[in-house]
Structure 1
Amino acid sequence: MRHRYRVTLVAGVTAIASALLAAPARAGGSDHHTWTVHPGTGTIAAAVAQAHDGDTLLLKAGTFHDSVTITKSLTIRGAGWDKTTVRPPSSKAGCTVMGGVHGLCLFGATDSTFNPIFSDRLKDASVSDLRLTGFSGIGVVGFNTDHLSVTHVRSDHNGQYGIARFASTHSLFAHDSASWDGEAGLYLGDSPNGDSVVRDSWSDHSNFGIFLRDSTGLTARDNHVWGNCVGVMALNTGGEAPYDIPAGDYRITGNTAWANDKACPAGEDGPALSGLGILLAGVHDSVVRDNTVNNNKPGGPTLGSGGIAIVSTKSMHGTDPTNNTVAGNDAHRNVPADILWDRTGSGNVVRGNDCAKAIPDNLGWCHQ
């Protein structure tokens, strides 16, 4: 289930009329500037080209057609996701990776084969208050970032991910909405010691609502996920890149996962999946607590389904699940069970859940 991150990067700035980009205003007497950016084609890219670290780009209400690579510590803020919309340009120029055209690409330094140079991350960039839609790739993507913030962003109908970041630390996704995206609505992956949070967000009708992969120190809390194949997926694939370590130490708390009944067919990246609320797959030392997980039922063929599942990925070059805790959750009307364990691994603790059925059913995991 891994996208191999093989990248052909095309960076360019579209030539536009200078009237579409307002002159910068000095912000608060500092050396940082605020640029007012008007709707059009290539206007965001043009503003990025002129801006410096610490500057702010204010995107006015309207529709922008752009695909932009950003390597500066900028604040990019729209007028609200119901007012400022970013769509793909008519050409395929801009930020193109993994065969897709992406909206806003926030990238730290990389080597000649696009491996991250961790000593030179992109720091303190932020995107907020806008909508990105219709990209063949990802709406907002971060790579090798530190303290990337994506808040109050709607990203929908994109081919790969809604909002994603790879090989990054201290990220915050908050008050976002991702719908009808490809592999995942909200993705945090490939990040040892990631120390990142996705919270208070909505994700629906993608393969995975929230996808945490091959990382440590990630938190998903107080989110709402529905209509996906898997609501929240925490996955250890076994690692392929030199910066991967055994995935775990996730905190999945206070989320609501319901009616994740979309069917994902089997493919080269993994088995068929459908009807899973929260899935711990081969991870270690993770906590699933105080979630509400109801009415997750398969809508098609699937390797497994149910409310909260703990499974091994050893057969797919991953590991058995170890030392995970599932406690204090409310899980009902999930098929075939509210809590499932495939009997692999060790040290997994399930206690104090309000549920009706568990598999194996002889462990006394449910109380009502």
Structure 2
Amino acid sequence: MAKVLKGIKLRLYPNQHQADLLWQMFGNSRFVWNQMLAMAKERYHNNPSSHFVNEYGMNYLLKPLKLEFPFLKQSDSTSFLVVNHNLAQAFKMLFKHQGGYPHFKSRRAIRQSYTGRSTCRVIAKRRIKLPKLGSIRTSKTSRIAGLKIKRYTVSYDPTGRYYLSLQVETPAPQILPKTGKTVGLDVGIADLAISSDGTKYKTFNAKWLEKQATQWQSKCSRRRHRAEVAVRQWNHNHKTIKEELTDYQNWQQARMQKARYQQKIANRRKDYLHKLTTKLVKQYDVIVIEDLKTKNLQHNHHLAKVIANASWYEFRTMLEYKCAWYGKRLITIKPNYTSQICSDCGYHSGPKPLAIREWTCPQCGAHHDRDINAAVNILHKGLKAVG
């Protein structure tokens, strides 16, 4: 039976001892990353013509590193192999000119994590056994019962919560029944997707949550500024006892409250996109969409926020893997001139301002909704491309 890889995320509820050990593991993974990166930089500085130390070479250095720093033995040993793999991949992307130079990781980062490949298993309905941590309380584990866990990631996010992300191997989902329908989708701002049959799917909207997140962002910024001033004044006047920014809980609480509202928005957006993409995959056999470069479009500062809120990239990603899972077909085409061509006669009317939402073809007299016309052209181009 065919297998597919899926990601499952669970909430973790560590006790105080386990939480302390988790932070030690976060620090150890960060320490190994920084040590290997510093070694690579120093090696290049001393001899620019030397060969880069590959992943195998970095793994060979782990044993003497553990002898020099015994606290590294408190971590799952496979987590360091993952760190070396990620660093080697980062350098490969750099050499291919597809990424920047890797950066050192900071202990002050609000998001911490480590990834391991060791065996972890479910031992109860709300208990899972992790390497070095032992039995730890989680949310419901019924979704992963009997599945093979390939790797795991423990993370701490800005909301102050711990999560366990699992990569599991599951049987491939059942192929959905064929409907014989095809559709072209034009993505937009006011409407997330407009189909060639005239259906418009609204963009996700959470105005109240966004307002709350903005207010708490302002509170967090003001409280942090006051805390920074207080820390500077105290440290200037007291030479023996020094304060740190983390000693001021007022801005820490505002930061956490802001992060929780932002996470609520992200979770609801993802839920909306999952429901919409599943509906489309069930309804149509062939889906044609535009191959938009979202990162380039976000250079327009007037539209960057609404484009990010629409989550075009995530929408496309979900369609891609769901079509692959359920036996449907996704076709991507170049978006050139799709909103300028009459879908009835093929007349090219030229570019139009975004304010024009409807227009009439001067050649055949057909009246078009701009977005629906573009979706029909997208469908035609996609079907023509695949014959």
TM-score range, shorter chain: under 0.3
Structure with higher Rg: it is 2
Between Structure 1 and Structure 2, the one with more helix by share is 2
Q: Which has the higher contact order (CA 8 A, sep 6+)?
A: 2
- Return the TM-score normalized by structure 1: 0.24
Between Structure 1 and Structure 2, the one with more strand by share is 1
- Return the TM-score normalized by structure 2: 0.23
